[in-house]
Structure formats: structure tokens, C-alpha cells
Amino acid sequence: MKYSNFVDADACSDGEFLNHPGLFGWCWKGKKKCEKERYDKAVSGFNSDYPLNGDESCDEIDETITDIDNRITSVLNSGAKDRVISRNSRALENRRLDFKSAWEDNDCSQKAIDAQSAEFNAQVQAMFNQVNERSALRNKEDDTLMKVALGVGALVIGGVVVMALR
């Protein structure tokens, strides 16, 4: 959607020109009432763009918050009139706060910490298992070397005894 300097794209996108501020900023319903209607329309649009049903997973909530942040950045860099930027960014920020509340209600921060902790514990356990396996292999090799050394020693002693008896 491209924004023009003279046209409020949100107000005129559906053909409603009666809510447009006009050349001198005049609105037939009153400036505050028209702006409130435009804001309510923006809120409604963003609510439909980013629905919040209550059954979203923490990953979906996090992804939506990121999408809203990207959209806020896009709105701020859109080149639209300041009042349009202000209206849309305020509506998006309020929608972002709704998702932030859902994040907190679902205790997603604790779930993320628990998942990271479980992953860390699994990695530590895997490292301990590897060390224990290596240690067990070394013990078997050490036992084998000891048995070979005892066998060689017994042969040498046996050979010396045989030689001595002759």
C-alpha cells in the first residue's frame, strides 16, 4: 500500500471520503470524532490481522509479537502523514501489548527458561555419559594391559625357574 501526501490511505481505501480530513484538516463530524473513528478502524483491522484466540502456543505468540514489531517499524518508515503513523503505531502497540499479556498469562517466560534448563541438563548428562564411557574403556584397556603384563611376567619367571632348574 503506497501512501500519498494528500490522501489518508486508511480512510479512503474503502471509498469513504466523508471521514477524510480534507484540504484544511476539517471533518464534517468533528476532528476528534473522525480521528477516533479512524483509530477504531485501524484497531479493528489490526485485530483481524493478528487474532488472539487464547489457544496460541508460546512460540506462536512470540512469532506474532515479532511480526507486530516488524510492522511497527514498517509503519514508522512508511512516509505517511505523521497523524497516520501515530494512529497506526499506537494501534499496533496496543495489539502488541495484548499479545504481551497473553505471553505473561501463559507463563511463557518460565516455560522458555524450563525448556532451556532441560536442554542444558540433557547436554550436561550427555557429556557425563561420554566421559563415563571413555573412562570405562580406559579401565578395560588398563585391565587388559595389567593382565598382559602379569602373563608376560609369569612367563619370564617361569622361564627363569626352568632355566635355573636345569
pTM over 0.75: no
Average pLDDT of the chain, as a whole number? 78
Q: Tell me: the pLDDT tens digits for 58-68? A: 888 888 889 98
Q: In the predicted model, what is the mean pLDDT of residues 82-90?
A: 84
> Which residue ranges make up each domain of the chain?
9-106, 109-166
CA distance 106 to 17: 43
What is the CB neighbour count within 10 angstroms for residue 50?
17
CA distance 147 to 155: 12
Q: Tell me: the pLDDT tens digits for 19-69? A: 455 555 556 566 678 888 888 898 888 888 888 887 888 888 888 889 988
Q: Tell me: the pLDDT tens digits for 103-160? A: 888 888 788 888 888 888 889 888 888 888 887 777 666 677 778 888 888 888 888 8
CA distance 43 to 54: 18
